[in-house]
């Protein structure tokens, strides 16, 4: 038995084996052998999901494509790239930069595997930008029955495969639409919730990327704006201060040290939050500006382990839902030790996408595990589930949620169609696992 654990150490699994194919033919043969032996199989990406979505079913094997990670083709006219699906985002970014290209949009974690990001609906923030998989032009995959298949984004079936949750076979190649290399000017500014609400439409429309955060137990909100620019990049010293000193040392190491004490006495959390707000946020009335290559601008260093819940819901309900969360934290007295992040994503037509059919707001909230110590947070996450469900919230597939199959059915129009299609493609259920069975209520 081998052991797999995710980045956050919230999920452990023991597949019978982990295999590392190096070619498409090897992947194809693996799927055929698993079919013959009725052995469950599942691809594992970077294990950055917070739940067990990447674990093979009992007695099954996990496949890692980390040795199948080359760039196969760059189209300099169309600004697109075709990669083997095991590539991680950082090495793709590095190769794209050499070819004067950038990925169009990223979340704050830029260490995912590219196919894992597509399969879970990974996203950033910005009203003109969909989830990451919206930039995919074509997938090549090995189907559960062991056939090669190509799906273009113009094919009707693309809507089914786009957010595939790892149950529709093994993606072997991805062609992605990129953009000429770009820099982002980042502006961070404290703003009251009322101001953010009154300027909401403008903030969304006039910025390429916009999100905001709230530091719980304080009155501190901050907007984050990212806009394409030709201005020169900020100095190396400033970059080190932003990512090294503030990002890693203060926001991770020092924060972890403080939260260690709060793991014994949760009443310390509000004071720690106030201190972190003073250290990290710009002063009242001032704004912090910087210019970085886009991937640096999107990125937020994460070292301190955490668990996360994040839901998408109608963008029109942003402030209503957000105020309910604030109210819930106040009334229950629960201590929340990390900023709550509010992001915005354009709608799509993908059957299993949390952004299917409507422009959405994503609200994400975390609880940290300083030096591995876990405070009790189940009740908090359950309260978040409860509020978001009232608003037909759809959880991020790679994060935590405790909602029922009935809730999924209500909130995903194509829920039954998707699983019907999966069962047709994979009658032996080889790509099913505990995660998929749980969400299906099996």
**Rounded to whole angstroms, how far apart are CA atoms 371 and 263?**
10
Backbone angles phi, psi at 68, to 5 degrees: -125, 80
By the rule CB under 6 A, 115 interacts with ligand FAD: yes
Confirm or reject binding of residue 312 to ligand FAD (CB under 6 A).
no
Q: Which residue has the tokens 């907007």?
A: 223
User: Please, what is the minimum distance in Å from the beta carbon of residue 422 to ligand FAD?
Assistant: 12
Distance CA 74, CA 79 (A): 7
Asked if 71 contacts 89 with a C-beta cutoff of 8 angstroms, the reply is no
Binding of ligand FAD by 140 (CB under 6 A):
no
Q: CA 211 to CA 364: how far, in whole Å?
A: 11
- Out of 10, 102, 105, 113, the residue judged to bind ligand FAD by CB under 6 A: 113
**Within 13 Å and on the Cβ side, how many CA atoms surround 30?**
26
Would you count residue 134 as binding ligand FAD (CB under 6 A)? Answer: no
Please pick, from the candidates 10, 34, 42, 408, the single residue that binds ligand FAD as defined by CB under 6 A.
42
Smallest separation (angstroms) from ligand FAD to the CB of 38: 19
Q: Supply 412's token pair.
A: 């995903």
Minimum CB distance to ligand FAD smaller for 115 or for 203: 115
- How many residues of this chain bind ligand FAD (CB under 6 A)? 33
Of 120, 290, 318, 355, the one binding ligand FAD by CB under 6 A: 120
CA separation for the pair 163, 352 (Å, rounded): 6
- If one asks whether residue 381 binds ligand FAD (CB under 6 A), the answer comes out as no
Taking residue 181's Cβ as centre, other Cβ atoms within 10 Å add up to 15
Binding ligand FAD by CB under 6 A: which of 54, 161, 313, 401?
A: 54
Stretch that binds ligand FAD, among 109-117, 227-235, 265-273, 376-384 (CB under 6 A): 109-117
- Cα angle 110, 142, 91; round to 5: 25
Work out which of 39, 109, 290, 365 binds ligand FAD, going by CB under 6 A: 109
Taking CB under 6 A as the rule, does residue 174 contact ligand FAD?
no
What is the secondary structure of 264-300 as a DSSP string? T-GGGHHHHHHHHHHHHSPPTT-EEEEEEEHHHHH--
Q: How far is the CB of 219 from ligand FAD (least distance, A)?
A: 25
Among residues 161, 290, 398, 414, the one that binds ligand FAD under rule CB under 6 A: 398
Per-residue interface string for the shown chain with ligand FAD, residues 263-302, x marking contact by CB under 6 A: ---------------------------------------x
How far, in Å, are 208, 222, 392 from residue 286 at the CA level?
A: 21, 11, 37
> Alpha-carbon distance 157 to 79, whole Å?
24
Contact segment (CB under 6 A) with ligand FAD among 92-100, 113-121, 180-188, 270-278 equals 113-121
In whole angstroms, the minimum distance from the beta carbon of 398 to ligand FAD comes to 2
As measured in angstroms, the least distance from the Cβ of 166 to ligand FAD is 2
- Bridge partners of 342, per DSSP, are 212, 363
Q: Which of 416, 384, 419 is nearest to 402 (CA)?
A: 384
- In 3-state terms the chain splits into helix, strand, coil percentages (rounded to 5) of 35, 25, 40
Binding ligand FAD by CB under 6 A: which of 21, 40, 45, 60?
45
Distance, CA of 212 to CA of 210 (rounded, Å): 7
The binding site for ligand FAD (CB under 6 A) comprises 7-8, 42-49, 53-54, 65, 85, 107-109, 112-113, 115-117, 119-120, 122-123, 165-166, 170-171, 302, 396, 398
């Amino acid at each position: 038995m081998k052991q797999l654990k995710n980045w956050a150490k919230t999920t452990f699994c023991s597949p019978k084996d982990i295999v590392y194919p190096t070619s498409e033919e090897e992947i194809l043969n693996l799927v055929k052998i698993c079919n013959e032996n009725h052995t469950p199989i599942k691809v594992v990406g970077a294990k950055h999901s917070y739940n067990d979505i990447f674990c093979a079913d009992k007695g099954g094997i996990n496949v890692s494509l980390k040795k199948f990670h080359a760039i196969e083709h760059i189209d300099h006219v169309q600004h697109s790239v075709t990669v083997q699906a095991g590539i991680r985002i950082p090495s793709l970014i590095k190769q794209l930069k050499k070819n004067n290209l950038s990925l169009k949009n990223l979340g704050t974690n830029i260490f995912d595997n590219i196919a894992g990001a597509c399969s879970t609906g990974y996203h950033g923030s910005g009203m003109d930008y969909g989830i990451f998989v919206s930039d995919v032009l074509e997938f090549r995959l090995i189907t559960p029955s062991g056939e090669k298949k190509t799906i273009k984004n113009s094919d009707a079936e693309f809507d089914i495969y786009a957010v595939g949750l790892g149950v529709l076979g093994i993606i072997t190649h991805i062609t992605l639409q990129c953009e000429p290399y770009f820099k982002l000017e980042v502006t961070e500014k404290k703003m009251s919730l009322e101001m953010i609400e009154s300027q909401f439409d403008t903030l969304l429309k006039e910025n390429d990327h916009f999100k905001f955060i709230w530091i719980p137990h304080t009155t501190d909100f901050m907007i984050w704006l990212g806009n394409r620019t030709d201005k020169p990049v900020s100095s190396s010293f400033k970059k080190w201060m932003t990512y090294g000193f503030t990002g890693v040392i203060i926001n991770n190491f020092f924060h972890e040290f403080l939260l260690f004490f709060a793991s014994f006495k949760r009443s310390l959390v509000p004071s720690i939050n106030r201190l972190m707000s003073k250290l990290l946020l710009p002063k009242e009335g001032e704004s912090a500006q910087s210019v970085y290559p886009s991937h640096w601008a999107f990125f937020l260093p994460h070292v301190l382990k955490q668990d996360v819940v994040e839901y998408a819901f109608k963008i029109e309900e942003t402030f209503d839902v957000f105020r309910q969360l604030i109210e819930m934290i106040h009334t229950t007295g629960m201590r929340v030790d990390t900023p709550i992040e509010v992001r915005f994503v354009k709608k799509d037509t993908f059957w299993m996408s949390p952004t299917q059919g409507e422009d959405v707001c994503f609200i994400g909230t975390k609880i940290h595990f300083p030096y591995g110590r876990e405070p009790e947070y189940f009740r908090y996450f359950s309260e978040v589930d409860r509020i978001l469900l009232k608003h037909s919230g759809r959880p991020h597939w790679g994060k935590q949620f405790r909602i029922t199959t009935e809730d999924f059915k209500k909130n995903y129009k194509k829920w039954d169609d998707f699983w019907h299609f999966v069962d047709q493609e994979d009658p032996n259920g080889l790509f099913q696992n505990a995660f998929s069975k749980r969400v299906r209520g099996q």
